Amino acid sequence: MATISDVAQKADVSVATVSRVLNGSSRVSPETALRVRRAIAELDYRPNLLGRNLRRTKSERILVLLPNIANPFYAEIVKGIEDVANRNGYSIMLCNTDSDPEREKKHIRMLKGYLADGAILMASEMTCEELTELSREVPIVQCCEYRAGLTISHVSIDNEMAAYQAVNHLVGLGHRRIAFIGARNHFLSSALRKDGYIRALKEAGIAFDPVYCGYGDYSYKSGFRIMKQLLGLNPRPTAVFCVSDLMAIGAIRSAMEENLRIPRDLAVCGFDNIYFSSMFKPTLTTVSQPMYDLGCTAMEVLINIIEGQTKGAAHYFLDHELIIRESTAK
Amino acid sequence: MATISDVAQKADVSVATVSRVLNGSSRVSPETALRVRRAIAELDYRPNLLGRNLRRTKSERILVLLPNIANPFYAEIVKGIEDVANRNGYSIMLCNTDSDPEREKKHIRMLKGYLADGAILMASEMTCEELTELSREVPIVQCCEYRAGLTISHVSIDNEMAAYQAVNHLVGLGHRRIAFIGARNHFLSSALRKDGYIRALKEAGIAFDPVYCGYGDYSYKSGFRIMKQLLGLNPRPTAVFCVSDLMAIGAIRSAMEENLRIPRDLAVCGFDNIYFSSMFKPTLTTVSQPMYDLGCTAMEVLINIIEGQTKGAAHYFLDHELIIRESTAK
DNA sequence: TTTTAGCATGTAATCGTTTACATTACTATT
DNA sequence: AATAGTAATGTAAACGATTACATGCTAAAA
């Protein structure tokens, strides 16, 4: 394929002039510019981005790390990230980590290899130390899941408050035996959502009972399985708060199999407001995270860091919203 | 950050020797190698991939273009692509096109800019001419959606046969008024699936009636809307074949709103077998595409092209499977 | 002892750009 | 007419790696 010097030769100018035409960095006479442009068109020349980026030590690319693109929750965030990135001249590289630290490290190596100018991490498996070290070398932003107390910017919702409001809604419907289906992992959001659950119970004068708590991995299957167990309790819960929509849907299917009516026999509340939660029958009450905005904000914050606007770490908490639908109707 | 010459200096050798240690390309004495490795560790040196790739004119990266990562159908394919890529030392760059030709072109520019060694295109919006020209410059493979008659490798299922079998299944259940919800686009699969629908009708001695056909965009909403119209017909269809699971789910919700029972009053068959189709109530009869394998195969084919094993175009048709569930139960 | 072979290593060109600096040819000012 | 200023363009040095070729050394072969 043609290089810049092929173009220069054809247009009978130096490579510098071609480069100037390419970048509009400095004045070139209209006639020369025309000649160069014609040569570019004739040769179908495209700048080699490796060469350009090497020279500029800038890749104009952002690495986006997420556990699983098949999760519609992340897909929506990615759209926000991508829109802001594109608007600012960046492209994004999406990488699945499958929650595998090795796989994640492999991708981080690209980042350190200057293939990206920065990264947005979602549900990273790295330790606090690894993260801190990485952030010293490369601009990074944590999105949704984050490690607290680090000097690394993050964007998320107020998970404790969101859970509190969701459970409070169940309390308001008159429920007293409210189960909790959480996530067994090291993420802060898991702990915070449980905190919110407990606070809502406490305020309503309901004793917290660990027997009514189960822990899964956000998946439909785990929600299904855990709900089965919870329904075996005596007395069984009359409501359940799940920390993901998929688990909530699993819980509903589980209850339906036991011939329970939703919401009459069991009220169910999810978390995330993924697209499917409104297609499902009964439609799902859930905490809506502003996924698109989370993505946009994360990207904006990252660009600020990359372009040197921001010094310290910034922490953003975006507004969530409790969406009440059929699964907890009166 | 440290460069190769920092390492060379620290280890008191030339950059060539450091490079040799890095690549194991040529023999280096054990003592020197050790010294170099120590220097690398001390400086936490990582090769600059831009420099390396520029020199090697190889990026070890694959561009994967898809319309929308939020579509779980593509997500599963991507996993296959990624697994094979990683196994062969490639990384993938996922890019959303949003079915926007401009956006797609922007990403293609990266490809031409040597930022990727090849690409897998899913549901590309490019014209046959553009595709053909691109394929002359860069290794590409079409996955799932493809343009027929081009000398560009592709991997997909036999869409005509799959649709034929699905509709045949409905015929076998005794249905005579079978509606069709297709897709209004230029993709070959749309035409082929309709062909299969028509062939099954014809074989069963049922006249094809365009009134029973609607066309959407694969989305839940379009399925919902079109089904509403079809149910307004008199006599209304007793079964419907949809070319996507999302449209099928939309159709079911639409029918439910009219107080129809699935499958007693209306049998529904989808296409794709996305994860949600088994969570949905009633569970969905659908054509299962081997998504993971489609991805794996596409990537294998692409690697063969990149590494110069393959000359001409190869066309792969993978096996599909009709999965019968509640939505068409007897 | 001299020649030869082979190993370890260094030197320098190269990949395709960008860009600081140098050069040239005008025009405007004195 | 001499000088300064400016616009257009060219020259060459980067960016950070890889690698063909050159070199120096040691040990085996003649």
Assign A310 a pLDDT band (cuts: 50, 70, 90). confident
Residue B185 lies in a domain: yes
d(CA B87, CA A139): 29
pLDDT on residue B65? 95
Q: Which of A77, A60, A104 is nearest to B69 (CA)?
A: A77
User: Hey, is the C-beta of B112 within 8 angstroms of any chain A C-beta?
Assistant: yes
Low-confidence ranges of chain B (pLDDT < 70): none
Chain B hits for A220, CB-CB cut-off 8 Å, are 275, 279
pLDDT on residue B118? 95
User: Which has more confidence, A277 or B252?
Assistant: B252
Q: Please give the C-alpha separations between residue B188 and each of A30, A284, B27, B45, B302, in angstroms, as whole numbers.
A: 46, 37, 54, 50, 21
Decide: CB of B47 under 7 A of nucleic strand D.
yes
Q: Domain containing B147 — which CATH number?
A: 3.40.50.2300
Tell me if B323 sits within 8 A of B285, measured CB to CB.
yes
Residue B66 lies in a domain: yes
The model carries a pTM of 0.87
Share of chain A above pLDDT 90, in %: 78
Lowest mean pLDDT among A10-14, A294-298, B25-29: B25-29
Q: For A40-64, how does the pLDDT look when each residue is reduced to its tens digit (9 = 90+)? A: 999 999 999 999 999 999 888 899 9
Number of independent structural domains in chain B: 3
| The pair of three-digit structure tokens given for residue B296, joined into one six-digit string | 């794996």
Is the domain of A67 the same as that of A165? no
d(CA B270, CA B272): 7
Q: Give the nearest partner residue to A110 out of B54, B91, B114, using CB atoms.
A: B91
Q: Output the distance from A16 CA to D9 C1' rounded to whole Å.
A: 8
Q: Output the distance from B32 CA to D20 C1' rounded to whole Å.
A: 22
pLDDT on residue B254? 96
pLDDT on residue A158? 97
pLDDT on residue B91? 87
pLDDT on residue A318? 98
β-sheet with A239-242: strand ranges across: A213-216, A178-183, A239-242, A267-272, A285-288, A321-323
Q: Which of A238, A284, A234 is nearest to A264 (CA)?
A: A238
Helix count (H) and strand count (E) of chain A? 12, 12
Is the domain of A176 the same as that of A266? yes
d(CA A8, CA A209): 76
Is the domain of B133 the same as that of B193? no
Is the domain of B64 the same as that of B38? no
Residue A186 lies in a domain: yes
d(CA B303, CA B306): 5
Is the domain of B239 the same as that of B310? no
Does B91 sit within 8 Å of A47, measured CB to CB?
A: no
Residue B53 lies in a domain: no
| The pair of three-digit structure tokens given for residue A192, joined into one six-digit string | 């915070």
pLDDT on residue A202? 97
User: Which has more confidence, A70 or A156?
Assistant: A156
Q: What is the DSSP letter of A29?
A: -
Q: How far is A200 from chain B (nearest CA, A)?
A: 31
Is the domain of B74 the same as that of B151? yes
Q: How far is B72 from chain A (nearest CA, A)?
A: 5
Does A276 sit within 8 Å of B281, measured CB to CB?
A: no
Average confidence (pLDDT) over A278-296: 94
Residue A52 lies in a domain: no
Q: For A97-129, how does the pLDDT look when each residue is reduced to its tens digit (9 = 90+)? A: 989 999 899 888 888 888 899 999 999 999 999
Is the domain of B206 the same as that of B310? no
Q: Domain containing A23 — which CATH number?
A: 1.10.260.40
pLDDT on residue A177? 97
Residue A218 lies in a domain: yes
Is the domain of B285 the same as that of B163? yes
Q: How far is A50 from chain B (nearest CA, A)?
A: 6
Is the domain of B93 the same as that of B142? yes
User: Hey, is the C-beta of B207 within 8 angstroms of any chain A C-beta?
Assistant: no
Could you give the dihedral angle defined by the CA atoms of residues B178, B179, B181 and B184, in that order, rounded to the nearest 10 degrees? 120
| The pair of three-digit structure tokens given for residue B33, joined into one six-digit string | 């190698």
Average pLDDT, chain A: 93
The secondary structure of A48-83 as a DSSP string is -HHHHHHHHT---EEEEEES-TTSHHHHHHHHHHHH
pLDDT on residue A91? 87
Q: Give the nearest partner residue to A114 out of B50, B86, B249, using CB atoms.
A: B50
Is the domain of B136 the same as that of B95? yes
pLDDT on residue B321? 97
Is the domain of B171 the same as that of B258? yes
Domain with B278, as residue range(s), is: 159-290+322-328
| The pair of three-digit structure tokens given for residue A111, joined into one six-digit string | 């980042």
Residue A286 in this model has a pLDDT that exceeds 80: yes
Residue A316 lies in a domain: yes
Q: For B212-252, how does the pLDDT look when each residue is reduced to its tens digit (9 = 90+)? A: 999 999 999 999 999 999 999 999 999 999 999 999 999 99
| The pair of three-digit structure tokens given for residue A36, joined into one six-digit string | 């160069």
d(CA B283, CA B326): 5
Is the domain of B166 the same as that of B268? yes
Residue B281 lies in a domain: yes
